[in-house]
Structure 1
Amino acid sequence: MAAGDGGGGARRTRPNVLVTGTSGTSKMTTCSLLADVVGLRHINIGNLVREKSLHDRWDEELQCHVINEDLV
């Protein structure tokens, strides 16, 4: 299986770009604008994880879901 083909044989033609950082630094705004300019789709991973239950558990100390990267 080639990297990035998801096992279905089709190769990815667009990149995945992951942006992380401190809360409140305009990541979502910047990424949405950038995606529009370069013709990519912007996906908010936090929303996706919650909507599709792509997490293993809730971390009480950090107050966030522990993302299951294999499911994402």
Structure 2
Amino acid sequence: MTTEQGRATRTRPNLLVTGTPGTGKTSTCSLLASATGLRHINVGELVKVKSLHDGWDAELDCYIVNDDLGLHGS
């Protein structure tokens, strides 16, 4: 489906699951995706694989996500 401006319109929902590390978010989302036919995207893994970050934050034990990098086709 597309809009009059030629942009694709969403036909399925985007669900964002956040929470404390180690609580089962990835496992739960994988099961949810399997049960519903939705696609599961692990944002942390995507940031790492596509280098959408400005380095590693040792204190927070995570990548420093750069939201602007994804806009340039990385």
Q: TM-score range by the shorter chain?
A: 0.7 to 0.9
Q: Distance in 2 between matches of 1:8 and 1:52?
A: 27
List, as ranges, runs of 4+ consecutive aligned residues in structure 1 with deviation greater than 2 Å: none
Q: TM-score, normalised by structure 2?
A: 0.75
What are the superposed Cα offsets for residues 21-43 of structure 1, whole Å, 9 maximum, x if unpaired?
11111111111001111110111
Considering only aligned residues, what root-mean-square deviation do their CA atoms show, in Å? 2.2
Q: Give the paired residue count.
A: 67
SS in 1 for 2:32: helix
Which residue in 2 is equivalent to 1:13?
A: 11
Provide the residue aligned with 1:29 in structure 2.
27
Q: TM-score, normalised by structure 1?
A: 0.77
**Structure 1 spans left out of the alignment, 5+ residues:** none
The gaps in structure 2 that reach 5 residues or longer are none
